[in-house]
Amino acid sequence: MAGIRVSGVSKSYLLPDGSEREALGQVDLTIGDGEFVCLLGPSGCGKTTLLNILSGLDSDYRGTVRFTDVRSGTSGSQQSETDVGMGGAEPVFSYMFQESRLLPWLTVRENLRFVLDDEDRGVRGVARIDDWLGRVGLEGSGNYFPSQLSVGMQQRVALIRSLIIGPEILFMDEPLSSLDELTASRMRDELLNLWTEQVPTVVFVTHNPLEAVYLADRVLIMSPGPGRIIHELQVSEELPRPRSSEDTRLWELSRECVRILKGKARDPAGSVLDV
């Protein structure tokens, strides 16, 4: 299992006219092992940029990202730190995107096999795939192609693809935002159930405040221009798990998020927030 320690991370893009645009400015952040963290903010505030830096997809940034490896210490007190992209020492990552990003020419089963390492692909691998399909109600659809499934079912396959490798850190980039609310709320509960079995560290990006406070232990509110974390909201104390989506405290916390986001909207930067 692993936690994340981010210090002084910033990123800027070079614009065609030669000037630089700061996408991310000075992010400091510590995420504990097994913690469920939501990054909440309007579109274009650098949430996905930060996620791509943390997951190693983007290596062009300033600052440091370190992973605390709790497994290697016998008592749990010993902690070793590794840089992202260091190869063997890296924790097991997985990533769920807004679109399912399944390979259309592979069946559901082959898609799941694709992310398994060679030693996990034998008979045990097949049993594991079937087991995971069953857990999200997709038993019997292993031989279908993704195009034969509804968007919701495709996203369920993407969800178990992200969990089947036993990730230590799970990155999620608005994975439910392209679904209808009914399917999305059902999948939120499925995600929480599956998360409590493995308890990987989760970094979940969303622009939906209600979703953020329902899922997270801690909500980090981000603001654009350049993207930075402007507020931290500890949810786990106010809302112990399991939570109910009917809970009125959920709405209060969500409204608080919106207030903070809107407060920042009157910033001299003048950016309009779409929350």
Partner 1 sequence: MRQASQSKQRGVGRRWLNLESLSLDNWLYRPLSLLSILVVWIVFSRIMGAQVLPGPVSTMEFLWEQLERGALTRHLGITMYRVVVAFTVAMLLGVALGVLMGVSRVVDRLLEAWLIVGLTVPRIMLFVIAYLLIGLNDTSAIVALVITVVPTIIVQLREGARAVDGKLIEMAHAYRRSNVAIWRKVIFPQLLPYFIGTARGALSLAWKMVVLAELLGRTSGVGYQITFYFQMFNMRGILAYGVAMMLVLAVIDLTFVGLMQRYGFRWRRSGRYAA
Nearest to 235 by CA among 214, 211, 208, 262: 214
Q: Does 86 bind partner 1 (CB under 8 A)?
A: no
Residue 191 near residue 223 (C-beta atoms within 8 A): no
Stretch that binds partner 1, among 27-35, 137-145, 195-203, 218-226 (CB under 8 A): 137-145
* Binding span for partner 1 by CB under 8 A among 41-49, 100-108, 195-203, 221-229: 100-108
The burial of 272, by beta-carbon neighbours within 10 Å (0-12 exposed, 13-18 middle, 19 or more buried), is given as exposed
* Residue 165 binds partner 1 (CB under 8 A): yes
Let me know: does 21 contact 137? Beta carbons within 8 Å: no
Range list of β-strands (E), the chain = 2-14, 20-31, 36-40, 62-69, 80-83, 93-96, 169-173, 201-206, 218-223, 228-234
Contacting range for partner 1; rule: CB under 8 A; set: 28-36, 149-157, 224-232, 251-259: 149-157
Which residue in 205, 210, 160, 226 sits closest to 187, CA to CA? 160
- CA distance linking residue 171 with residue 233, whole number of Å: 19
Site for partner 1 in 187-246 (CB under 8 A): none
Specify the DSSP element, H or E, that contains 77: none
Write the interaction track for partner 1 spanning residues 27-46; mark x where CB under 8 A is met and - where it is not. --------------------
- Residue 105 interacting with partner 1 (CB under 8 A): yes
Residue 148 touching partner 1 (CB under 8 A): yes
> Of the listed pieces 40-48, 95-103, 240-248, 256-264, which binds partner 1 according to CB under 8 A?
95-103
The token pair at 22 is 């700061």
Task: Compute the least distance from the CB of residue 53 to partner 1, in Å.
Answer: 13
Question: Is 147 a binder of partner 1 (CB under 8 A)?
Answer: yes
Total binding residues for partner 1 by CB under 8 A?
Answer: 24
If one asks whether residue 132 binds partner 1 (CB under 8 A), the answer comes out as no
Q: With CA atoms as reference, report the closest residue to 22 among 55, 83, 63.
A: 63
Contact status: 121 vs partner 1 (CB under 8 A):
no
Least Å distance, CB 263 to partner 1, is: 34
Choose, by CB under 8 A, the member of 57, 89, 127, 199 that binds partner 1: 57
Q: Which of 101, 121, 135, 218 binds partner 1 (CB under 8 A)?
A: 101
- Phi, psi angles (nearest 5°) of residue 160: -75, -25
Which one of 33-41, 138-146, 216-224, 240-248 is the stretch in contact with partner 1 (CB under 8 A)? 138-146
Q: Beta strands 36-40 and 93-96: pairing type?
A: unpaired
CA distance 225 to 273: 12
Q: Which stretch binds partner 1 (CB under 8 A): 26-34, 42-50, 97-105, 201-209?
A: 97-105
Give, in order, the Cα–Cα distances in Å from 218 to each of 3, 5, 14, 260: 14, 15, 33, 15
186 belongs to the binding site for partner 1 (CB under 8 A): no
Contact positions toward partner 1, by CB under 8 A? 55, 57, 93-95, 97, 99, 101, 103-106, 114-115, 141, 144-145, 147-150, 153, 165, 171
